[in-house]
A and B are shown apart, each in its own frame.
Chain A
Protein backbone atom coordinates (compact mmCIF):
# COMPACT_ATOMS: atom_id res chain seq x y z
CA UNK A 1 0.00 0.00 0.00
CA UNK A 2 1.61 3.27 -1.07
CA UNK A 3 1.80 5.92 1.64
CA UNK A 4 2.70 9.45 0.63
CA UNK A 5 4.28 12.04 2.88
CA UNK A 6 4.08 15.81 2.91
CA UNK A 7 4.14 17.40 -0.51
CA UNK A 8 4.09 13.99 -2.13
CA UNK A 9 0.42 13.62 -1.05
CA UNK A 10 -0.43 16.02 -3.86
CA UNK A 11 0.54 13.28 -6.28
CA UNK A 12 -1.78 10.62 -4.89
CA UNK A 13 -4.03 10.60 -7.93
CA UNK A 14 -1.13 9.83 -10.23
CA UNK A 15 0.16 7.10 -7.94
CA UNK A 16 -3.34 5.61 -7.93
CA UNK A 17 -3.47 5.64 -11.70
CA UNK A 18 -0.72 3.03 -12.00
CA UNK A 19 -1.55 -0.50 -13.14
CA UNK A 20 -1.92 -3.21 -10.50
CA UNK A 21 -0.85 -6.80 -10.25
CA UNK A 22 -2.73 -9.33 -8.15
CA UNK A 23 -2.59 -12.95 -7.16
CA UNK A 24 -5.91 -14.38 -6.11
CA UNK A 25 -7.98 -17.50 -5.63
CA UNK A 26 -10.90 -17.89 -7.97
CA UNK A 27 -13.40 -20.41 -6.67
CA UNK A 28 -15.51 -22.23 -9.24
CA UNK A 29 -19.06 -23.15 -8.23
CA UNK A 30 -19.17 -26.11 -10.59
CA UNK A 31 -16.95 -28.51 -12.50
CA UNK A 32 -15.05 -27.11 -15.45
CA UNK A 33 -12.32 -28.68 -17.55
CA UNK A 34 -8.85 -27.15 -17.63
CA UNK A 35 -9.23 -26.43 -21.31
CA UNK A 36 -12.57 -24.70 -20.92
CA UNK A 37 -11.27 -22.59 -18.02
CA UNK A 38 -8.15 -21.60 -19.92
CA UNK A 39 -10.22 -20.61 -22.90
CA UNK A 40 -12.59 -18.40 -20.92
CA UNK A 41 -9.75 -16.75 -19.00
CA UNK A 42 -8.02 -15.91 -22.26
CA UNK A 43 -11.21 -14.17 -23.40
CA UNK A 44 -10.83 -11.77 -20.49
CA UNK A 45 -7.40 -10.57 -21.59
CA UNK A 46 -7.61 -7.19 -23.24
CA UNK A 47 -10.35 -4.58 -22.83
CA UNK A 48 -13.35 -5.66 -20.76
CA UNK A 49 -16.53 -3.93 -19.66
CA UNK A 50 -17.15 -3.53 -15.95
CA UNK A 51 -19.78 -1.84 -13.88
CA UNK A 52 -18.51 -0.89 -10.41
CA UNK A 53 -20.17 -2.84 -7.57
CA UNK A 54 -23.07 -1.42 -5.55
CA UNK A 55 -20.71 -0.51 -2.75
CA UNK A 56 -18.20 1.49 -4.72
CA UNK A 57 -16.40 4.79 -4.40
CA UNK A 58 -17.16 5.78 -7.98
CA UNK A 59 -20.25 6.28 -10.15
CA UNK A 60 -21.80 3.02 -11.27
CA UNK A 61 -21.30 3.50 -14.95
CA UNK A 62 -20.28 0.80 -17.34
CA UNK A 63 -16.67 1.41 -18.15
CA UNK A 64 -13.85 -0.21 -20.03
CA UNK A 65 -10.89 -1.56 -18.14
CA UNK A 66 -7.94 -3.38 -19.63
CA UNK A 67 -6.64 -6.67 -18.39
CA UNK A 68 -3.05 -7.04 -19.59
CA UNK A 69 -2.21 -10.36 -18.07
CA UNK A 70 -4.47 -13.05 -16.69
CA UNK A 71 -3.11 -16.53 -16.12
CA UNK A 72 -3.66 -19.67 -14.12
CA UNK A 73 -0.81 -20.41 -11.75
CA UNK A 74 -2.21 -23.52 -10.09
CA UNK A 75 -5.43 -25.39 -9.86
CA UNK A 76 -6.88 -27.78 -7.34
CA UNK A 77 -10.35 -28.86 -8.40
CA UNK A 78 -12.52 -25.81 -7.97
CA UNK A 79 -9.84 -23.60 -6.46
CA UNK A 80 -7.85 -21.76 -9.09
CA UNK A 81 -4.85 -19.63 -8.22
CA UNK A 82 -4.53 -16.87 -10.79
CA UNK A 83 -2.30 -13.90 -11.42
CA UNK A 84 -3.46 -10.80 -13.23
CA UNK A 85 -2.12 -7.40 -14.24
CA UNK A 86 -4.84 -4.82 -14.75
CA UNK A 87 -5.51 -1.19 -15.36
CA UNK A 88 -6.23 0.94 -12.28
CA UNK A 89 -9.88 0.72 -11.31
CA UNK A 90 -10.47 -2.87 -12.37
CA UNK A 91 -12.55 -4.81 -9.88
CA UNK A 92 -11.03 -8.21 -9.43
CA UNK A 93 -13.98 -9.65 -7.53
CA UNK A 94 -16.14 -8.64 -10.47
CA UNK A 95 -13.66 -10.07 -12.95
CA UNK A 96 -13.76 -13.45 -11.23
CA UNK A 97 -17.54 -13.35 -11.00
CA UNK A 98 -17.77 -12.62 -14.73
CA UNK A 99 -15.44 -15.50 -15.54
CA UNK A 100 -17.90 -17.72 -13.67
CA UNK A 101 -20.82 -16.31 -15.61
CA UNK A 102 -19.19 -17.02 -18.96
CA UNK A 103 -18.29 -20.53 -17.81
CA UNK A 104 -21.92 -20.99 -16.81
CA UNK A 105 -21.14 -22.51 -13.41
CA UNK A 106 -20.53 -19.31 -11.47
CA UNK A 107 -17.37 -18.30 -9.64
CA UNK A 108 -16.33 -16.07 -6.78
CA UNK A 109 -13.22 -14.61 -5.27
CA UNK A 110 -11.84 -16.39 -2.23
CA UNK A 111 -8.57 -14.57 -1.65
CA UNK A 112 -6.75 -11.67 -3.15
CA UNK A 113 -3.39 -10.12 -2.67
CA UNK A 114 -2.08 -7.12 -4.49
CA UNK A 115 1.56 -7.76 -5.28
CA UNK A 116 2.35 -4.66 -7.31
CA UNK A 117 1.04 -1.14 -7.63
CA UNK A 118 2.80 0.63 -10.49
CA UNK A 119 6.51 0.31 -9.78
CA UNK A 120 5.93 -0.58 -6.11
CA UNK A 121 6.38 -4.32 -5.77
CA UNK A 122 5.42 -6.32 -2.71
CA UNK A 123 8.92 -7.82 -2.48
CA UNK A 124 10.35 -4.32 -1.91
CA UNK A 125 7.74 -3.32 0.65
CA UNK A 126 8.61 -2.34 4.18
CA UNK A 127 6.85 -3.31 7.38
CA UNK A 128 5.75 -1.00 10.15
CA UNK A 129 8.58 -2.50 12.22
CA UNK A 130 11.07 -1.45 9.52
CA UNK A 131 9.77 2.11 9.78
CA UNK A 132 9.98 1.99 13.55
CA UNK A 133 13.61 0.82 13.46
CA UNK A 134 14.52 3.40 10.83
CA UNK A 135 13.05 6.18 12.93
CA UNK A 136 14.97 4.92 15.97
CA UNK A 137 18.25 4.99 14.00
CA UNK A 138 17.40 8.46 12.79
CA UNK A 139 16.93 9.61 16.37
CA UNK A 140 20.43 8.29 17.06
CA UNK A 141 21.85 10.25 14.18
CA UNK A 142 21.82 7.67 11.37
CA UNK A 143 19.37 8.65 8.68
CA UNK A 144 20.50 5.88 6.28
CA UNK A 145 17.78 3.36 7.23
CA UNK A 146 15.07 6.02 6.93
CA UNK A 147 16.28 6.84 3.43
CA UNK A 148 15.94 3.17 2.53
CA UNK A 149 12.43 2.92 3.98
CA UNK A 150 11.20 6.10 2.29
CA UNK A 151 11.48 6.41 -1.51
CA UNK A 152 11.50 9.71 -3.41
CA UNK A 153 8.02 10.11 -4.90
CA UNK A 154 9.54 10.69 -8.34
CA UNK A 155 10.63 7.04 -8.39
CA UNK A 156 7.09 5.91 -7.62
CA UNK A 157 5.84 7.87 -10.64
CA UNK A 158 8.03 6.26 -13.27
CA UNK A 159 4.86 5.43 -15.24
CA UNK A 160 3.96 9.11 -15.73
CA UNK A 161 5.29 11.07 -18.75
CA UNK A 162 7.53 14.04 -17.98
CA UNK A 163 8.46 17.45 -19.25
CA UNK A 164 11.97 18.46 -18.21
CA UNK A 165 12.45 22.21 -17.90
CA UNK A 166 15.39 24.58 -17.53
CA UNK A 167 16.34 25.89 -14.11
CA UNK A 168 15.23 29.34 -15.23
CA UNK A 169 11.67 28.09 -15.79
CA UNK A 170 11.29 26.23 -12.48
CA UNK A 171 10.29 29.10 -10.23
CA UNK A 172 7.50 30.31 -12.51
CA UNK A 173 6.01 26.81 -12.70
CA UNK A 174 6.38 26.43 -8.92
CA UNK A 175 4.34 29.64 -8.65
CA UNK A 176 1.58 28.15 -10.79
CA UNK A 177 2.57 29.28 -14.24
CA UNK A 178 2.10 27.18 -17.37
CA UNK A 179 5.02 25.37 -19.02
CA UNK A 180 6.16 27.33 -22.04
CA UNK A 181 8.04 26.02 -25.06
CA UNK A 182 11.31 27.94 -24.60
CA UNK A 183 11.74 26.49 -21.10
CA UNK A 184 11.49 22.87 -22.22
CA UNK A 185 14.64 20.76 -22.33
CA UNK A 186 13.13 17.32 -22.98
CA UNK A 187 9.81 15.44 -23.03
CA UNK A 188 8.82 11.82 -22.63
CA UNK A 189 7.98 10.15 -25.89
CA UNK A 190 4.66 9.09 -24.38
CA UNK A 191 3.52 12.61 -23.49
CA UNK A 192 -0.01 13.10 -24.83
CA UNK A 193 -2.31 16.07 -25.05
CA UNK A 194 -4.63 16.31 -22.04
CA UNK A 195 -3.06 13.36 -20.25
CA UNK A 196 -1.52 14.46 -16.97
CA UNK A 197 2.24 14.66 -16.88
CA UNK A 198 4.92 15.85 -14.48
CA UNK A 199 6.99 18.97 -14.93
CA UNK A 200 10.43 18.13 -13.54
CA UNK A 201 13.77 19.87 -13.12
CA UNK A 202 17.03 18.88 -14.80
CA UNK A 203 17.90 17.12 -11.56
CA UNK A 204 14.67 15.12 -11.76
CA UNK A 205 12.72 16.86 -9.00
CA UNK A 206 8.97 17.08 -9.46
CA UNK A 207 7.72 20.67 -9.79
CA UNK A 208 4.06 20.27 -10.69
CA UNK A 209 1.40 18.11 -12.24
CA UNK A 210 0.59 19.60 -15.63
CA UNK A 211 -1.84 18.97 -18.47
CA UNK A 212 -0.11 19.03 -21.86
CA UNK A 213 -1.81 21.01 -24.61
CA UNK A 214 -0.03 18.96 -27.27
CA UNK A 215 1.68 15.62 -27.91
CA UNK A 216 5.41 15.01 -27.40
CA UNK A 217 6.34 15.48 -31.06
CA UNK A 218 4.63 18.87 -31.22
CA UNK A 219 6.38 20.02 -28.05
CA UNK A 220 9.72 19.32 -29.70
CA UNK A 221 8.77 21.50 -32.66
CA UNK A 222 7.21 24.33 -30.64
CA UNK A 223 9.39 27.39 -30.14
CA UNK A 224 6.88 29.57 -28.32
CA UNK A 225 3.65 29.47 -26.38
CA UNK A 226 2.21 27.18 -23.74
CA UNK A 227 2.91 23.46 -23.99
CA UNK A 228 1.25 22.43 -20.71
CA UNK A 229 -1.22 24.05 -18.34
CA UNK A 230 -0.67 23.86 -14.58
CA UNK A 231 -2.82 21.42 -12.61
CA UNK A 232 -1.18 21.19 -9.25
CA UNK A 233 2.04 22.63 -7.89
CA UNK A 234 4.07 20.24 -5.76
CA UNK A 235 7.42 22.00 -5.24
CA UNK A 236 7.90 24.75 -2.69
CA UNK A 237 8.02 28.13 -4.37
CA UNK A 238 11.40 29.36 -3.21
CA UNK A 239 13.65 26.39 -3.96
CA UNK A 240 14.68 27.85 -7.30
CA UNK A 241 15.38 31.57 -7.87
CA UNK A 242 12.68 33.58 -9.65
CA UNK A 243 14.56 34.54 -12.78
CA UNK A 244 11.41 35.46 -14.62
CA UNK A 245 11.03 38.61 -12.55
CA UNK A 246 13.91 40.40 -14.16
CA UNK A 247 13.54 38.73 -17.53
CA UNK A 248 16.98 37.21 -17.13
CA UNK A 249 17.73 33.92 -18.79
CA UNK A 250 20.27 31.30 -17.92
Chain B
Protein backbone atom coordinates (compact mmCIF):
# COMPACT_ATOMS: atom_id res chain seq x y z
CA UNK B 1 0.00 0.00 0.00
CA UNK B 2 1.24 3.46 -0.83
CA UNK B 3 1.88 5.67 2.17
CA UNK B 4 0.57 8.11 3.12
CA UNK B 5 -2.52 6.05 2.43
CA UNK B 6 -5.62 7.91 1.57
CA UNK B 7 -3.50 9.88 -0.80
CA UNK B 8 -2.92 8.73 -4.33
CA UNK B 9 0.79 9.56 -4.17
CA UNK B 10 2.43 11.47 -6.95
CA UNK B 11 2.92 8.62 -9.41
CA UNK B 12 4.61 9.08 -12.75
CA UNK B 13 4.92 12.45 -14.45
CA UNK B 14 2.58 12.67 -17.43
CA UNK B 15 3.96 14.91 -20.16
CA UNK B 16 1.55 17.42 -21.63
CA UNK B 17 3.95 19.35 -23.78
CA UNK B 18 7.70 19.17 -24.38
CA UNK B 19 9.71 22.12 -23.07
CA UNK B 20 13.33 22.88 -22.25
CA UNK B 21 14.37 24.91 -19.20
CA UNK B 22 15.75 28.36 -19.93
CA UNK B 23 18.64 30.21 -18.27
CA UNK B 24 16.63 31.12 -15.14
CA UNK B 25 16.63 29.79 -11.63
CA UNK B 26 18.63 26.83 -10.34
CA UNK B 27 18.12 23.11 -10.07
CA UNK B 28 17.60 22.49 -6.33
CA UNK B 29 21.04 20.97 -5.72
CA UNK B 30 22.77 23.67 -7.77
CA UNK B 31 21.50 26.69 -5.90
CA UNK B 32 24.14 29.06 -4.52
CA UNK B 33 24.60 28.25 -0.85
CA UNK B 34 22.62 31.18 0.57
CA UNK B 35 19.61 30.34 -1.62
CA UNK B 36 20.19 26.64 -1.03
CA UNK B 37 19.70 27.21 2.69
CA UNK B 38 16.54 29.25 2.11
CA UNK B 39 14.99 26.18 0.49
CA UNK B 40 16.56 23.74 2.89
CA UNK B 41 15.33 20.96 5.12
CA UNK B 42 17.28 19.13 7.81
CA UNK B 43 16.51 15.56 8.77
CA UNK B 44 17.55 15.97 12.37
CA UNK B 45 18.21 13.18 14.81
CA UNK B 46 16.86 15.06 17.77
CA UNK B 47 18.72 14.41 21.00
CA UNK B 48 16.69 13.62 24.10
CA UNK B 49 16.61 16.39 26.63
CA UNK B 50 15.96 19.68 24.90
CA UNK B 51 12.53 20.28 23.37
CA UNK B 52 11.96 20.46 19.63
CA UNK B 53 11.53 24.16 20.07
CA UNK B 54 14.86 24.61 21.81
CA UNK B 55 16.64 22.50 19.22
CA UNK B 56 15.12 24.55 16.42
CA UNK B 57 16.28 27.79 17.98
CA UNK B 58 19.71 26.31 18.42
CA UNK B 59 19.91 25.27 14.75
CA UNK B 60 18.85 28.74 13.73
CA UNK B 61 21.51 30.50 15.75
CA UNK B 62 24.13 27.98 14.70
CA UNK B 63 23.46 28.65 11.03
CA UNK B 64 23.40 32.37 11.76
CA UNK B 65 20.27 32.12 9.76
CA UNK B 66 18.58 35.34 8.71
CA UNK B 67 15.16 33.83 7.99
CA UNK B 68 12.72 31.54 9.64
CA UNK B 69 13.46 28.12 10.99
CA UNK B 70 10.59 25.83 11.87
CA UNK B 71 10.26 22.26 12.98
CA UNK B 72 7.74 19.64 11.98
CA UNK B 73 7.37 17.33 14.92
CA UNK B 74 6.81 18.22 18.49
CA UNK B 75 8.15 16.27 21.39
CA UNK B 76 5.29 14.90 23.41
CA UNK B 77 5.20 15.54 27.13
CA UNK B 78 6.53 12.05 27.68
CA UNK B 79 9.28 10.39 29.60
CA UNK B 80 12.85 11.09 28.68
CA UNK B 81 13.30 7.79 26.87
CA UNK B 82 10.96 8.81 24.11
CA UNK B 83 12.97 11.47 22.50
CA UNK B 84 12.04 11.28 18.88
CA UNK B 85 9.34 13.73 17.89
CA UNK B 86 6.26 11.71 17.19
CA UNK B 87 3.28 13.85 16.45
CA UNK B 88 3.96 16.24 13.72
CA UNK B 89 2.61 19.65 14.54
CA UNK B 90 4.08 22.07 12.14
CA UNK B 91 4.13 25.79 12.27
CA UNK B 92 6.64 28.29 11.03
CA UNK B 93 8.75 29.53 13.91
CA UNK B 94 6.80 32.61 14.80
CA UNK B 95 8.94 33.32 17.82
CA UNK B 96 11.93 33.76 15.58
CA UNK B 97 10.03 36.31 13.54
CA UNK B 98 9.20 38.29 16.60
CA UNK B 99 12.83 38.24 17.56
CA UNK B 100 13.80 39.91 14.34
Most buried by A among B21, B33, B58, B93: B21
Contact with A along B16-42 (1 / 0, CB 8 A): 111111101111110101001111111
**A31–B42 alpha-carbon span in the complex (Å):** 43
**A185–B20 alpha-carbon span in the complex (Å):** 10
**A204–B46 alpha-carbon span in the complex (Å):** 29
Instruction: Write the nearest CB–CB distance from B57 to chain A, whole angstroms.
Output: 11
A-B contact count (CB 8 A): 284
Instruction: Write the nearest CB–CB distance from B42 to chain A, whole angstroms.
Output: 4
Given contacts A10-B92, A190-B9, A205-B26, 14 further A-B pairs with CB under 8 A are A1-B45, A3-B55, A5-B40, A6-B67, A8-B38, A57-B89, A86-B3, A87-B5, A131-B63, A151-B41, A156-B43, A160-B10, A195-B8, A202-B22
| 9 residue pairs A–B, Cβ–Cβ below 8 Å | A1-B44, A1-B72, A4-B41, A13-B90, A66-B5, A120-B43, A147-B29, A186-B16, A195-B7
Lowest 8 CB-CB distances: which A-B pairs, in order?
A189-B11, A19-B3, A152-B28, A12-B90, A6-B38, A19-B4, A202-B21, A66-B5
